[in-house]
Amino acid sequence: MIADHIKNRGRYLNCHKNIAAALEYIARHADEPGLKDGTYPVIPDEVIVHVVTKDTHAREDAKMEIHKNFMDIHYIIRGGERCYMAPLAEEGAIDYDPETDNGFWDCADSCNVMIGEGEFYAVWPMEPHCPLCDVDGEPKEIRKIICKVNVEQGSLREAGTGLE
C-alpha cells in the first residue's frame, strides 16, 4: 500500500504510465466544482475513474477485498475514511468474480490507515483491503475518486521497468 498526499504525486509518476495518468487526473479534476459522480474512462481498459459520494460504514459490516487485474487508487475529496489491510487468504476462501475483478472474504485485520481530504492510498493487485470504513465509529458521507488502474506485467514491461 502507498498512502500519501496528492501534492506528492511526483514520487510515483515514473512507477507506471497508468499510475501517472490516474494521479494526474486526480490532481487536475478533484477540485472541479462541476465534477459529477460517475464513471470516466481516462485510458479505455487501462485507467477507469469512478467519482462517488457514499457513506462510510463500520469495519465489521464489510468484507476484505482484492482485485487480481487492477490496482485501486482512492483519493478523498471530502471527508475521511479508514482502510483496513490483512494478509492474503487462501484462494479457496475468496469469493472472486473475474467479470468484476473483485474478490471478497471475512478475515481479521492486520493494520489500518486513515486517509483525509487531499490524500490518497493505492493498493496493488492481490493486496487485501477494506475501504470506506468509519474514522470515528460514526458513518459519515464522503466524496472520493477511485481509479481502477491496469498494472499487469505486460503493461509494466511496456513502461520500461525491466520486469518480465
Instruction: Give the integer Cα–Cα distance in Å for 130 and 57.
Output: 10
Helices (H), 30-164: 153-158
Q: What is the pLDDT of residues 92-118, one digit of tens each?
A: 899 999 999 999 999 989 999 999 999
pLDDT recorded at residue 120 = 98
Q: Tell me the CB-side half-sphere exposure of residue 99, using CA atoms within 13 A.
A: 0
Residue with cell 482484492: 66
Q: What is the pLDDT of residues 7-40, one digit of tens each?
A: 999 999 999 999 999 999 999 999 998 999 999 9
Give, as one character, the DSSP assignment of residue 6: G
Entry pTM: 0.90
Residue 102 bridge partners (DSSP):
97
Query: Are residues 93 and 105 in contact, defined by beta-carbon separation less than 8 angstroms?
Result: yes
